[in-house]
Amino acid sequence: MFKALDPVLHSQVRLSIMTILLPLKSAEFSYLLSNIETTKGNLSFQITKLKDAGYIEVKKSFKNNYPLTTLKITSKGIDAYEQYIASISEYFKKSGKI
């Protein structure tokens, strides 16, 4: 039997965001944008999905009179990410290719 995959994380952009944030204390929107192949609008939309799920915290501020969005993964996000990796790993193990 296959474990269900978290639909919030089962998206290329959202999974990329979480993977980048996991080892970092925090990251700026511009850093994520430069490391994920997507548009500003799509990145903003996917960030909102993760925020609404409680997986990340979003802090809006200003730096040199420019808007600055900083993101941080939450403990709930870390738990969800680890569970997602464990679940998807089972799929690969059952294929006999790992």
Confidence of residue 29 (pLDDT cuts 50, 70, 90): very high
Residue 98 confidence (pLDDT) above 80: no
**DSSP annotation string for 39-82:** -HHHHHHHHHHHHHTTSEEEEEEEETTEEEEEEEE-HHHHHHHH
Q: Which fold has domain 14-88?
A: Arc Repressor Mutant, subunit A (1.10.10)
45-97 residue pLDDT tens: 999 999 999 999 999 999 999 999 999 999 999 999 999 999 999 988 888 77
